[in-house]
Amino acid sequence: MRIAALAGLGCALLVAAAAHAQSYPTRPITMVVPFAPGGIADITGRPLAASMAKVLGQPVIVDNKPGAGGAVGHAFTAKAKPDGYVIMTALSSIVVIPEADKVNGRPVTYQMSDFTPLALVSADPTILLVPADSPWRTLKDLVDDARSRPGKITYSSSGVYGTIHTCMEMLAQAAGMQLVHVPYKGGGPAMTALLAGEVNITAQSPGVSNPHIKAGKVRVLGSWAAARTAALPDVPTMKEQGYDVEFYIWAGVFAPAGLPAEVRERLVGAIRQAVQDPDFQKAMAGLNTPINFKDGRDFDEFISADAKRLAEVVRKMGKTE
């Protein structure tokens, strides 16, 4: 009788799980974007949320939670109930911040084990921008000036240890120059700071900077890509210019750890369909951002490799206030 009862309980749990998966979602889903509006996470997350809503039959509502280079939104998502109603579009900074906490001797805000990785959506190389009226016409001009005036040239970022901060420090380390870091609450505000003359340089994804490049407001001095990109074929890479650095602002979707397998599969399937939606593809094409979908083991391996590479950069950066 005891065996029969246990078997019956097991069947009941399986039926309940199947019923939950079939009914999910029954209410709106929140998509956390851990940066201010206007950055690459935001301008990727919003059209993705709209396309996912078509598939899931429920609204997917974007909730911007900026701060601490993305850590505020990351921590919020890590602590959310793992029921599929809170997901997050995060950038590569998600793998940097746990290592940065260790380097600075702080309590760890979250661990990557606190998340269920769902899918990679895009991976864009960062590009180095200066105002169109800047005296620096080449990367060499900038590096020579920075070396002659240590600590005098400022750059904006999406936050301490965020994507822009990390890639700029990679370049500074390789070029032997000392720059002044001015953090903002996202890539959008960091771009605005350059346009407003609050800082001298910044790094951005092509998606964020494309309208300003077309308008002639900024000049591109180089790309952190491994090879020249189709969107900017005339822009040389950092490697071409003598600096062995490579960095991508990738955007991926995560949920809290402990997500039921059935709900995870439903969400991954929705993302897979969403990136094939003509509306989403049109939005990404308008940003010159290539779609790069990965899920399952492929995404896990991608995250692991990037985390290892960026952890080394953070350790070289050391403590940063």
User: Positive or negative CA dihedral for 63, 127, 165, 117?
Assistant: positive
Query: How many separate domains does the chain show?
Result: 2
9 pLDDT exceeds 90? no
pLDDT tens for 212-240 read 999 999 999 999 998 998 888 999 999 99
Q: Is residue 284 part of a domain?
A: yes
Please indicate, yes or no, whether residues 165 and 189 belong to a single structural domain of this protein.
yes
Position 290 scores a pLDDT of: 86
Same domain for 109 and 137, yes or no, is no
* Domain span including residue 90: 28-123+249-317
Instruction: Answer whether residue 8 is part of any domain.
Output: no
Instruction: Compare 12 and 103 and report the one with higher pLDDT.
Output: 103
Does 89 lie in the same domain as 50?
yes
In a domain, 235, yes or no: no
Q: Is residue 244 part of a domain?
A: no
pLDDT, tens only, 126-176: 999 999 999 999 999 999 999 999 999 999 998 888 889 999 999 999 999
> 202 with 115, same domain?
no
Tell me the pLDDT band of 99, cut-offs 50, 70 and 90: very high
CATH number, domain of 146, equals 3.40.190.10
In a domain, 18, yes or no: no
Q: Which CATH number do you get for residue 91?
A: 3.40.190.150
Predicted confidence (pLDDT) at residue 80 exceeds the cutoff of 80: yes
Examine the domain organization and report whether 219 and 267 are in the same domain: no
Please state, rounded to an integer, the average pLDDT across all residues of the chain.
Answer: 91
Domain assignment present for residue 21? The answer is no
Domain boundary among 223, 258, 278: 223
Residue 162 shares a structural domain with residue 195: yes
Is 259 among the domain residues?
A: yes
The mean per-residue pLDDT over the stretch 72-98 comes to 96
The reported pLDDT for the residue numbered 6 is 52
Question: Is residue 13 over pLDDT 70?
Answer: no
Per-residue pLDDT at 21 exceeds 70: no
Tell me if 230 is assigned to some domain.
Answer: no
